[in-house]
Amino acid sequence: MKHSRNEVGRWRMLRQAQRRKSRWLEGQSRRYRHIYRIREIHSLQHQRLCLYSVINEWW
């Protein structure tokens, strides 16, 4: 079955838009993962600092 040029063009545009959207979402999730990692490291450092200060109070 042959499709008109307009139909084919429309499908291509739709596919392109979907691809762009999925790539954008993938990038966003990557960025958010990066932010969460930084927060996690920060909280670990904070815990270590608190532990260190508690140990120093005892000496």
> DSSP letter string over 2-48?
---HHHHHHHHHHHHHHHHHHHHHHHHHHHHHHHHHHHHHHHHHHHH
Q: Between 49 and 9, name the one with better pLDDT.
A: 9
Hey, what amino acid is at 17? A
Contacts of residue 26, Cβ cutoff 8 Å, sequence gap at least 6: none
Mean pLDDT of 19-26: 91
Band (pLDDT 50/70/90 cuts) for residue 58 is low
Q: Between 44 and 59, name the one with better pLDDT.
A: 44
Band (pLDDT 50/70/90 cuts) for residue 16 is very high
pLDDT above 80: residue 55: no
Contacts of residue 43, Cβ cutoff 8 Å, sequence gap at least 6: none
Mean pLDDT of 11-18: 94
